A and B are shown apart, each in its own frame.
Chain A
Amino acid sequence: EVQLLESGGGLVQPGGSLRLSCAASGFTFNNNAMSWVRQAPGKGLEWVSAISGSGGVTYFSDSVKGRFTISRDNSRNTVYLQMKSLRADDTAVYYCAKVVSVDYFDHWGQGTLVTVSS
């Protein structure tokens, strides 16, 4: 059974940093790209970032480019999202998702809440 477990969310001040983790199990981790998708309170889904199975290729949405980085440790079956220069509009539930064929997401974690507020 595929399981994705996010952690690292919490309350952070504007301008601060936070690192999210997503521990994966139940599939061959290094064979799959992974992605982060967020959802602001009461709003829709917004894709944030993705990383290839090897970790050599990364993608970012325009809204986080230059502030967020994505990485993975295939020995630990874990993907990370390092967030810097956080703003109030980064407040959201952040979901980790397993990518299929570079195109879509067949499994999602339960999400971790990030709140950016003073």
Chain B
Amino acid sequence: SYELTQPPSVSVSPGQTARITCSGDALPKQYVYWYQQKPGQAPVLIVYKDIERPSGIPERFSGSTSGTTVTLTVSGVQAEDEADYYCQTAVTGDTYVVFGGGTKLTVL
């Protein structure tokens, strides 16, 4: 089955830049989507189609892609950005949707 690999955790100090990676063999051919999930809340879409940002999402959240790795960058991290972040892609065949394992962003 297809897998997306994320680091379990990333820690940064307020105001610094956090980078969360997501790796998968098919990513050069598939869009990646990013979700933010705070404790006790539903996920929220923060990046779609690798680099696009939905309305209402702060500009400090951005996506980029290079080969088999996509990166979510949070510039000028704020305390409120502490959350779990999940990447996701859609694949052909029976699997349909795959999520990465999630990355916990800790703001020190």
Q: Which residues of A contact B (CB under 8 A)?
A: 35, 37, 44-47, 50, 59-62, 95, 100, 102-111
A59-B96, A108-B44 known; A102+B101 contact, CB < 8 A: no
Distance between Cα atoms of A35 and B90 in the complex (Å) = 13
| Residues of chain B contacted by A45 (CB below 8 angstroms) | 35, 37, 43, 86, 88, 99, 102
A35-B97, A104-B33, A104-B48 known; A44+B42 contact, CB < 8 A: no
| Residues of chain A contacted by B45 (CB below 8 angstroms) | 104-107
| Residues of chain A contacted by B102 (CB below 8 angstroms) | 44-45
**Which residue of the partner chain A has the closest CB to B86?**
A45
B42–A46 CB distance below 8 A? no
Count of chain B residues with a beta carbon within 8 Å of a chain A beta carbon: 25
Q: Mark B71-108, 1 if CB is under 8 A from A, else 0.
A: 00000000000001010101000111111111000000
- What total of A-B pairs shows CB separation below 8 Å? 61
**Which residue of the partner chain A has the closest CB to B34?**
A104
A47–B42 CB distance below 8 A? no
Distance between Cα atoms of A108 and B42 in the complex (Å) = 6
A44-B99, A47-B98 known; A102+B42 contact, CB < 8 A: no
B48–A95 CB distance below 8 A? no
| Residues of chain B contacted by A111 (CB below 8 angstroms) | 42
B99–A103 CB distance below 8 A? no
Report 18 cross-chain contacts, Cβ distance below 8 Å, ordered by A residue: A37-B43, A37-B97, A44-B100, A44-B101, A45-B43, A47-B97, A59-B96, A62-B1, A104-B45, A105-B33, A105-B45, A105-B88, A106-B45, A106-B48, A107-B45, A108-B43, A109-B42, A110-B41
